[in-house]
Chains A and B, each alone.
Chain A
């Protein structure tokens, strides 16, 4: 009798379709994936630990490097978290500017997503058109803050500098022009029979499973769960803006694709409302910490996690002695920052709940039992960036 044995192969870390340095160990029975084991950590830079050695304003540029295709959203998530910790309220104008930036980033991120996802599946033309459109958003970034990728534009208590008329004009032009560009992408792939065969009915995860695996963002909404941090726990100006949360119903790769395409249109609507309603005023709160924030003395004994509190005379009231979890909706899902603070201007513990990390963990669930070619579609649909996954 011949003994049946699975073939074990490595997919990645050096594989262009794994969106970075994700390594999947696949055990194959013919063309069928029997077992899939994701290995992460090739891009680990110790962002959390670095953040614990820097004051809150100094750790802000580190968050650019988490999810490098939507750096502005990471910055905003970090700033919102620290503002909640310090009890600072950003001025209204800064909130609206941040909302515009967050939505521009969502568009830029989904552009990169549709480009790479379609490229992996085999539709190369979308890649060329979408990279052309992303350039415009990067130019908008450069207009406001002088950098295109690692922006560091938001600041704890507001944003770094005000937007000018040139930005407003260009942004209006962009939101008028961009719906045409979305139609171009849809002309190419939306009804294309090859695209439909590669995506419909592939990578199905039910709503209950998606919640249990901790999925967030469009990956969860494709399964029909209308959970969005922007609606559930509004931050910045989202409570004053009308928008819908697109959801899918078939729980497959195609529905997640539709969700993201609908989010393009919702983002455009949000940007338009924000630009119309943009209030006047300063963009930085008066109580915002300066860049050279005084560190202060710790209020817990070193070495004791949240242990003994030192006597009152050492207590400095700069930063509350507190722990806090704060979530924001970045394009990939729910980005959470968890701080344990010991009373100094440096977090005792900084934990980043990265959506990409959670989404990478669901790959075995999606891939097992499917074909090898569908692994590529599944990696694309969960929209991971390994910089954020490995932190």
Chain B
């Protein structure tokens, strides 16, 4: 045993060093975020609550019922029903996301050819009932309104719509030409004034798809 080791052993050097460190830490600034009062910074692309992008022109969602998100979802929490109106034109009759089953992988956002879906930056949406976390198409649009109301700036862009560094040549045309979505209702029609078309009312025309993909995706099984 060297002299140094003996001194260390007798005078508890390593314990005193540890004590000095903890004492120093006691005087430093705390790193804890007091959550409900303070909130931490959220980075773009955060995968949170689901929403439908409200199209500025039509005031409705942009879904073209290609079934890609339904087929890709690893937890199979998306269900979509395509309806036909009296003119035999397809329209989105039902679109449901069971958010309790969702694993927030963000595949649906990435495969959507018209960038209609988004996982927003809202994350605190727990509830006492399951119904409140079962998102149908109206709730998804409501989620969008709630989300954009909190944003600053005039446009919104989700990084998973057209990820950086991925060759865009293989993407559908609508995805390649997707511009940041305007979120301030300057010229947009409020949703209440545009009546949502229902199959029970044959007098009204169905909504046109907002954008058309290049190659029409083949129709696959419909999940209800």
Contact across chains for B119 and A188 when beta carbons are under 8 A apart: no
- B153-195 vs A, Cβ < 8 Å mask (1 yes, 0 no): 0000001100111110010000000000000000000000000
Is there an interface contact between B166 and A284, defined as CB atoms closer than 8 Å? yes
Are B163 and A160 neighbours in the complex by a CB distance under 8 Å? yes
CB neighbours (8 Å) of A150 from chain B are: 103-105
Residue on A nearest B32 in the bound complex, by CB: A132
Q: A161-B159, A291-B110, A292-B72 are in contact. Are A129 and B14 (CB under 8 A)?
A: no
Q: Which residue of A lies closest to B75 (CB)?
A: A61
Q: Is the CB of B159 within 8 A of A58?
A: no
Q: Is A169 an interface residue (CB 8 A)?
A: no
- The answer to the question of A49 belonging to the interface, with a C-beta cut-off of 8 Å to chain B, is no
- Residues in A whose Cβ lies below 8 Å from that of B110: 160, 291
Please measure, in the bound complex, the distance between the C-alpha atom of A7 and the C-alpha atom of B183, giving whole angstroms: 68
Q: Does B90 contact A (CB under 8 A)?
A: no
Instruction: Give the interface SS of chain B, mostly helix, strand, loop or mixed.
Output: loop
Task: Mark the stretch among A138-146, A243-251, A303-311, A320-328 that contacts chain B.
Answer: A138-146
In the bound complex, how far is the Cα of B164 from the Cα of A282, in angstroms? 8
Task: Please report the C-alpha to C-alpha distance between residue A28 and residue B192 in the assembled complex, in whole angstroms.
Answer: 72
**Contact B165 A283, beta carbon cutoff 8 Å:** yes
Which interface residue of B22, B74, B104 has the most chain A CB atoms within 10 A?
B74
B45 within 8 A of A: yes
| Contact-size category for A | 35 or more
Nearest to B167 among chain A residues (CB) is: A282
Contact with A along B103-118 (1 / 0, CB 8 A): 1111100110000000
- Which chain A residues lie closer than 8 Å to B15 at the CB level? 192-193
Q: A162-B163, A291-B111, A292-B68 are in contact. Are A132 and B43 (CB under 8 A)?
A: no
CB contact under 8 A between A291 and B119, given known A146-B43, A161-B164, A162-B163? no
Interface check B18, CB cutoff 8 A: yes
**Set of chain A residues within 8 Å of B139, measured between Cβ atoms:** none
Given contacts A62-B74, A191-B8, 8 further A-B contacts (CB under 8 A): A58-B74, A142-B43, A146-B44, A187-B18, A190-B14, A282-B167, A286-B167, A292-B71
10 contacts between A and B (CB under 8 A): A62-B74, A132-B31, A139-B43, A142-B42, A160-B166, A161-B159, A162-B164, A188-B22, A193-B15, A286-B167
